[in-house]
Amino acid sequence: MNQEKLAVVAFGGNALLRAGQQGSFQEQLENVRRTCAQLRHLIGRGYNLVIGHGNGPQVGNVMLQHEAGRKAFNLPAMPMDFCGAETQGSIAYLIETGLEEVLREAGIDRRVVSVVTRVEVDPEDPMFRNPTKFVGPYYPEEPKDGATYKPDPRGLGWRKVVASPKPVKINNIDIVEKLAREGVIVVTVGGGGIPVVPTEIGHRGVEAVIDKDLASALAAVTMKADEFYILTDVPKVYINYRKEGQEALGTLRVAEAKRYLAEGQFAEGSMAPKVRAGIAFVEAGGRECIITEAAALDDPACGTRIIA
């Protein structure tokens, strides 16, 4: 199957893990299956698909497991790039499994392939000089292991912080595009991708976390995707969210989006990164970015649409 349109879809965190859940395998598989069921609407409208996803809670759980192993058995903890690769693979397995079930039930003959993806970042990115991304477990006192720790803003203790550099280049994106344009659904840039920097002998992983929406936007730009979907837990982007004068936005031009960002209308760590990713896609030549919830994908006019 070789369809004409290509959409990149970035799964939000609620596609994998919902509030109040423990994160068991069965919980995550069922959540993924529900989200994947909504992708049938895009396939039915003639889209080839590339799927990105987050991995924040899963990486946190892996780091907790490593910490427990270190305390109990003196096992060495793994670096962030390794944790990213580990969760890319496990989450991609969940998505492949859930999507395969959904496609089979719907009688849709499409293959699903996952690519564990390295994403190149600039070693001189200023974020490396001021790491701000909290990861892993909380500690009552600042550990003295050579990593950088900061007090958690909620007063829960000390927590490791790493850089969140801008993605520059996606490894093997040409292969991803070739597969996608031939009708294969490809899972890639999971968790923003494994952060690496170029060296004389290849690529070296670094202690960092790449924003998954920015990485998915870069994938969409590089492949010249027709549309870029960012799935979250609300049907639209709002200004004055949960305040007096709350307003859902239908169409949002880039200039308006930048003004609202400057005004602080979109929360950091929540909607702000999604809006920035949408702006990046459109400014690089993309037609439109749609921010919505998975349940709304049955409506071709769903969500907030960021356009030039």
Q: Which of 274, 278, 286, 303 is catalytic?
A: 274
Q: For residue 153, what are the β-bridge partners?
A: none
Q: Which of 14, 48, 55, 61 is catalytic?
A: 14
Q: Which of 133, 171, 278, 303 is catalytic?
A: 133
Strands 158-162 and 149-151: antiparallel
13 in active site? yes
> CB-based contacts of 231: which residues, under 8 Å, 6+ apart?
9, 10, 11, 12, 15, 35, 292, 293, 294
Q: Which of 13, 56, 286, 303 is catalytic?
A: 13
Q: Which of 54, 61, 171, 212 is catalytic?
A: 212
Q: Check if the beta carbon of residue 119 is closer than 8 Å to that of residue 192.
A: yes
274 in active site? yes
d(CA 8, CA 225): 7
133 in active site? yes
d(CA 103, CA 23): 24
> CB-based contacts of 299: which residues, under 8 Å, 6+ apart?
none
Structure tokens at 255: 């200039």
Q: Considering only CA atoms, which of 9, 1, 5, 103 is closest in space to residue 45?
A: 5
Residues with catalytic roles:
13-14, 133, 212, 274
